[in-house]
A and B are shown apart, each in its own frame.
Chain A
Amino acid sequence: MLRIKRVPTIVSNYQKEEADGSARSVGGCGRNCLRECCMQGAKLPLYAYKRANKVGSEKALAVDEPREAPVAFLDSLLLGEWEDRMARGLFRYDVTACETKVIPGDYGFVAQLNEGRHLKKRPTEFQVDKVLQPFDGNKFNFTKVGQEEVLFQFEASEDSEAYFTPAAPIDVENTPSFVAINVSPIEYGHVLLIPRIFECLPQRIDYESFLLALHMAVEAGSPYFRLGYNSLGAFATINHLHFQAPTKKITITSSGVKISELLKYPVRGLVLEGGNLLQDLAKMVSDCCIFLQDTNIPYNVLIADSGRRIFVLPQCYAEKQALGEVSSEILDTQVNPAVWEISGHIVLKRREDYDGASEENAWRLLAEVSLSEARFAEVKAIIFEAVVSAGVAGGSDMHLQEAELAPKEVDPINSTTASAMVTGNHECMVLQ
């Protein structure tokens, strides 16, 4: 069994209390938590989104189409509730006080000096060679967070209209999904989307959860708001940088999902976009993810451009780390390359690393995360075999499209790297 030691990120204030067991006294168990003991009569705001079938087209970029929403989802609801938690002092630090800069270079990686995020926690052992691990009710999970850390419930509207209720009872039977703060934010507005919280899902992607995340991206409707998987979500203060690497189109599936390969980026990965319906995109991405999970290949997923583009990035940093193959120089920085780092938002813990941050350093770190060229080619091939071509053959869609192979891109990448995995925390499923 491969293990590494890592300082876990504290995402809830109730996570650190685990050991000392000190409880505040309110009703129930005293923590105002999300389990039976405290759920009697509990209410939370509820935002029900309209099931969108399609993500807005690219054309709408300049002229912003107004979207019908009962409340401004991102600006008023999410950020308003977030600021409220900030005013109430629920965060471990003020992330807007963390120095942040754009690293000069081609990619516009962002470096953040965050000295507070990992303080005061002893390293914990993580098993890193199993992507799917069973849910462990004894460990910290999101039903243990306090209700005050939850911002609102998020679900699909029953009738086809979106609506908002300021105080809706929590219907456990109805398997609600919650949006909660991450008490160690990496950006202003950093939240967690916890799908079907009461089902206590282990950390994995399935179609329903991914579709929910995709809907959240659509609802937020801002290119600045991205969702990531296998780590936590954040509101990027700079749009568009990061993944502005070129891509090479590989194929279009029968359901209209265009699949490309990311080029000239330190981490190799696939980009999925389009699809006749939003559900098609969700299906294709979740199929890829499920396949990777089942094949025991760690990966990260990033939902960008308000749900228009999905990045799937297999990796094996943690495995490399466990095998002692990561250079000590990189290990010393103690950076855990999770989805935000991979997408170019690099959270650094030491002042010297921040001051000396350069594109070259960032590239070197991310390159450690990526699969090697050969390995990526293999993974890509088996994904295609298992998922994409299955989709093409079995797809009931009439207009089966020939894979279009006319890339603008000229240049095959021929340098290379190795790679590794990042497993975030294996708590409950953490999306966003």
Chain B
Amino acid sequence: MESQLELIEQSIISRYSNRVYEALDELPGNFTITDPCIYGHPIVFASHGFLEMFGYSKEEVVGRNGKMFQGQGTCRRTVMEIREAIRAERAIQVSLLNYRKDETPFWILFHMSPVFSEEHGRAINFVAVQVPIIRKPLHPKHNHGRHQFCSCEDGFKSRDILLGSCRREVCTKPLVESSHEAAFEAVLDSDRGVEAEQLCEASELEKQKAITSINNILSVLTRYSALRGKSVSERRCHVEGQSLPNSALVTSLGRIEQSFILIDPYLPSMPIVYASEAFLKLTGYDRHEVLGRKHRLLSNSCTDSSTLLQINESIRNAKPCKLRILDQRKDMTSFWNLIHISPVRNASGKVILIISRWNFPIPRREGEPQHILFPIPNFSPSVTYFVEVHMEEGYVNQDGRMLSPEIRQLGTIAAVKVAVRSATMGPCSSG
């Protein structure tokens, strides 16, 4: 597997044509580009203006997550909003308190936008513009005092309700209390960052500036992706028949090394919506040849039909199952495939994506048999996918020398379940 560093280095250049760096360098303003498909969602590009404003060198920033600029005064709620926007792959504009390398705090207007691949509809980059806010804070001091580290309006009101006391006194010798206390308290009163703690609202001008800036970057990216033949767009485009996992999910799935696919059980053909690297290697297919195809892509006329029936049955009843099946690679060679199938639930227990899914009838590809009409599923809507884990019979795994193949496959199912559960857990699970 490629190292993280290589991935970061290759990120931009693998998606946009060579001259993109020059074009980005020519753009004015402070901005960063991140790659959500790499573990940790690192920054892969930072503009000169950005580095200058924050006081870091390029090397100190590329490869790290944008949260490195946050500090104790940064509003938690705003950070959560950003996180949620990333999860939902939508744009956001907020005021945010950041810290320079020398730890001085300052307010920025943070405007972030996802960049979608037209090929598969997933967010492949995020772009953010950081416009410094130069106006004076809106709120007078006494209003948003220093006890409020969060500038959000109702961040800590709740504390006032909570007076009470635990009455039992400490039973040991009370001799020390004050000496240590004095030592702790003595250090509390540095006045650093007071200004930082007040809400700061950007002017209309600054907001407009952020929008213009982001549009310029997006148009550069669009242009240079087209040159590379892999167009991107700021709008998500629907790829037929696919209910795609979001980029956060794809990233965590990408870290799972075993061969597996995710199946969308809500479409009659039960198409594959995700295929792991190892699956492609095992079967010889390219990703685009697999996505959207019916899940039993690997079976052919020799495949035992009662085994297939068993698979369908297990999916219909949302029951896990385990079997051995004769499958075929792209090059028509066959192999005994040890399969585990299991339902995977989202965190919310609510229906996600399903409605839009039905809008895209899956095209029948040449040579593919007509689908049997799929009976209405028997499972609760919190089942989002089925995962099918594969292992070629007789496969000797190198890294997990001692672990039985069975446990390794179950471990893969577990990892997928955890990934889906975390990626679908948003506030109130709006999905």
In the complex, are the beta carbons of A371 and B403 less than 8 A apart? no
Is A75 located at the chain interface by the 8 A CB criterion? Answer: yes
In the complex, are the beta carbons of A411 and B169 less than 8 A apart? no
In the complex, are the beta carbons of B103 and A408 less than 8 A apart? yes
Is B288 located at the chain interface by the 8 A CB criterion? Answer: no
Is A41 located at the chain interface by the 8 A CB criterion? Answer: no
Min Cβ gap B29→A in Å is: 24
In the complex, are the beta carbons of A104 and B80 less than 8 A apart? yes
Interface residues as binary, B387-431 with A (CB distance below 8 Å gives 1, 0 otherwise): 000000000000111111011111111110110011001111100
In the complex, are the beta carbons of A419 and B166 less than 8 A apart? yes
User: Which residues of chain B come closer than 8 Å to A368, judged between CB atoms?
Assistant: 162, 164
Q: Which B142-163 residues sit within 8 Å CB-CB of chain A?
A: 146-147, 149-150, 152, 155-163
In the complex, are the beta carbons of A110 and B425 less than 8 A apart? yes
In the complex, are the beta carbons of A101 and B348 less than 8 A apart? yes
User: Which residues of chain A come closer than 8 Å to B169, judged between CB atoms?
Assistant: 375, 378
Contact for A372 among B155, B166, B401, CB less than 8 A: B166
Is B193 located at the chain interface by the 8 A CB criterion? Answer: yes
Interface residues as binary, A79-90 with B (CB distance below 8 Å gives 1, 0 otherwise): 111111001000
Is B347 located at the chain interface by the 8 A CB criterion? Answer: yes
Choose the segment among B182-190, B201-209, B366-374 that binds chain A (4+ C-beta atoms closer than 8 Å).
B182-190
Is B324 located at the chain interface by the 8 A CB criterion? Answer: no
User: Which residues of chain B come closer than 8 Å to A299, judged between CB atoms?
Assistant: none
Is A173 located at the chain interface by the 8 A CB criterion? Answer: no
Complex-state Cα separation, A87 to B414, whole angstroms = 11
Is B181 located at the chain interface by the 8 A CB criterion? Answer: yes
Is B365 located at the chain interface by the 8 A CB criterion? Answer: no
Complex-state Cα separation, A384 to B177, whole angstroms = 10
Is B192 located at the chain interface by the 8 A CB criterion? Answer: yes
Is A385 located at the chain interface by the 8 A CB criterion? Answer: yes
Choose the segment among B64-72, B133-141, B294-302 that binds chain A (4+ C-beta atoms closer than 8 Å).
B64-72
In the complex, are the beta carbons of A77 and B407 less than 8 A apart? yes
Interface residues as binary, B28-68 with A (CB distance below 8 Å gives 1, 0 otherwise): 00000000000110100000000000000000000111000
| A79-B418, A87-B410, A405-B183 as given contacts; A266 in contact with B162, CB under 8 Å | yes
Number of residues of chain B lying within 8 A (CB) of chain A: 95
| A99-B348, A106-B77, A381-B176 as given contacts; A375 in contact with B184, CB under 8 Å | no
Is B359 located at the chain interface by the 8 A CB criterion? Answer: no
User: Which residues of chain A come closer than 8 Å to B172, judged between CB atoms?
Assistant: 295, 382
Min Cβ gap A424→B in Å is: 19
| A96-B417, A377-B181 as given contacts; A410 in contact with B164, CB under 8 Å | no
In the complex, are the beta carbons of B408 and A379 less than 8 A apart? no
User: Which residues of chain A come closer than 8 Å to B342, judged between CB atoms?
Assistant: 83, 87
Contact for B180 among A70, A367, A384, A417, CB less than 8 A: A384
Contact for B347 among A76, A237, A325, A403, CB less than 8 A: A237
Complex-state Cα separation, A413 to B178, whole angstroms = 18
Q: Which A384-403 residues sit within 8 Å CB-CB of chain B?
A: 384-385, 389, 403
Complex-state Cα separation, A319 to B350, whole angstroms = 39
Is A71 located at the chain interface by the 8 A CB criterion? Answer: yes
Q: Which A52-89 residues sit within 8 Å CB-CB of chain B?
A: 61-64, 70-72, 75-77, 79-84, 87
In the complex, are the beta carbons of A418 and B168 less than 8 A apart? no
Contact for A316 among B77, B168, B401, B417, CB less than 8 A: B168
Is B361 located at the chain interface by the 8 A CB criterion? Answer: no
Closest to A76 in B: B411
In the complex, are the beta carbons of A411 and B146 less than 8 A apart? yes
Interface residues as binary, A147-162 with B (CB distance below 8 Å gives 1, 0 otherwise): 0000000000000000
Complex-state Cα separation, A106 to B427, whole angstroms = 11
Closest to A237 in B: B422
Is B320 located at the chain interface by the 8 A CB criterion? Answer: yes
Number of residues of chain A lying within 8 A (CB) of chain B: 93
In the complex, are the beta carbons of B186 and A405 less than 8 A apart? yes
| A77-B407, A415-B159 as given contacts; A405 in contact with B187, CB under 8 Å | yes
Is B356 located at the chain interface by the 8 A CB criterion? Answer: no
In the complex, are the beta carbons of B186 and A378 less than 8 A apart? no
| A81-B407, A84-B410, A106-B76 as given contacts; A364 in contact with B162, CB under 8 Å | yes
Closest to A80 in B: B411
Q: Which A97-122 residues sit within 8 Å CB-CB of chain B?
A: 97-108, 110
Is B10 located at the chain interface by the 8 A CB criterion? Answer: no
Closest to B105 in A: A408
Contact for A248 among B65, B188, B399, B426, CB less than 8 A: B188
Most buried by A among B40, B157, B193, B403: B403
In the complex, are the beta carbons of A408 and B192 less than 8 A apart? yes
User: Which residues of chain A come closer than 8 Å to B75, judged between CB atoms?
Assistant: 106
In the complex, are the beta carbons of B5 and A165 less than 8 A apart? no
Is B174 located at the chain interface by the 8 A CB criterion? Answer: yes
Complex-state Cα separation, A67 to B400, whole angstroms = 13
Is B349 located at the chain interface by the 8 A CB criterion? Answer: yes
| A96-B417, A407-B187 as given contacts; A381 in contact with B181, CB under 8 Å | yes
Is A380 located at the chain interface by the 8 A CB criterion? Answer: yes
Is A276 located at the chain interface by the 8 A CB criterion? Answer: no
Is B165 located at the chain interface by the 8 A CB criterion? Answer: yes
Is A140 located at the chain interface by the 8 A CB criterion? Answer: no
| A79-B411, A103-B427 as given contacts; A378 in contact with B170, CB under 8 Å | yes
Complex-state Cα separation, A101 to B349, whole angstroms = 10
Interface residues as binary, A341-372 with B (CB distance below 8 Å gives 1, 0 otherwise): 00000000000000000011001100110011
Is A20 located at the chain interface by the 8 A CB criterion? Answer: no
Min Cβ gap A43→B in Å is: 13
User: Which residues of chain A come closer than 8 Å to B149, judged between CB atoms?
Assistant: 246, 264, 411
In the complex, are the beta carbons of B166 and A101 less than 8 A apart? no
User: Which residues of chain A come closer than 8 Å to B403, judged between CB atoms?
Assistant: 71, 76-77, 80, 164, 166
Closest to B430 in A: A101
| A106-B155, A411-B146 as given contacts; A418 in contact with B166, CB under 8 Å | yes
Contact for B176 among A382, A410, A416, CB less than 8 A: A382
Contact for A325 among B164, B189, B320, B348, CB less than 8 A: B164
Is A215 located at the chain interface by the 8 A CB criterion? Answer: no
User: Which residues of chain A come closer than 8 Å to B185, judged between CB atoms?
Assistant: 412
Is B216 located at the chain interface by the 8 A CB criterion? Answer: no
In the complex, are the beta carbons of B418 and A189 less than 8 A apart? yes
Is A250 located at the chain interface by the 8 A CB criterion? Answer: yes
Is B380 located at the chain interface by the 8 A CB criterion? Answer: yes
In the complex, are the beta carbons of B402 and A409 less than 8 A apart? no
Contact for A164 among B164, B349, B402, CB less than 8 A: B402
User: Which residues of chain B come closer than 8 Å to A250, judged between CB atoms?
Assistant: 184
Is B191 located at the chain interface by the 8 A CB criterion? Answer: yes
Min Cβ gap B1→A in Å is: 9
Complex-state Cα separation, A244 to B173, whole angstroms = 34
Is A1 located at the chain interface by the 8 A CB criterion? Answer: no
Is B122 located at the chain interface by the 8 A CB criterion? Answer: no
Is A206 located at the chain interface by the 8 A CB criterion? Answer: no
Closest to A355 in B: B428
Interface residues as binary, B105-119 with A (CB distance below 8 Å gives 1, 0 otherwise): 000000000000000
Is A19 located at the chain interface by the 8 A CB criterion? Answer: no
Q: Which 8 A-B pairs have the closest CB atoms?
A: A80-B411, A418-B164, A79-B414, A106-B76, A99-B349, A367-B162, A80-B407, A76-B411
11 contacts between A and B (CB under 8 A): A63-B4, A79-B414, A82-B414, A104-B80, A104-B428, A188-B418, A224-B422, A237-B418, A319-B168, A374-B165, A410-B197
| 6 new A-B contacts at CB < 8 Å, known A106-B150, A166-B403, A381-B181 | A80-B403, A101-B347, A106-B152, A296-B171, A407-B190, A414-B147
A-to-B contact residues, CB < 8 Å:
61-64, 70-72, 75-77, 79-84, 87, 94, 96-108, 110, 164-166, 188-189, 224, 235, 237-239, 244, 246, 248, 250, 261, 264, 266, 295-297, 316, 319-320, 323, 325, 359-360, 363-364, 367-368, 371-372, 374-375, 377-382, 384-385, 389, 403, 405-420
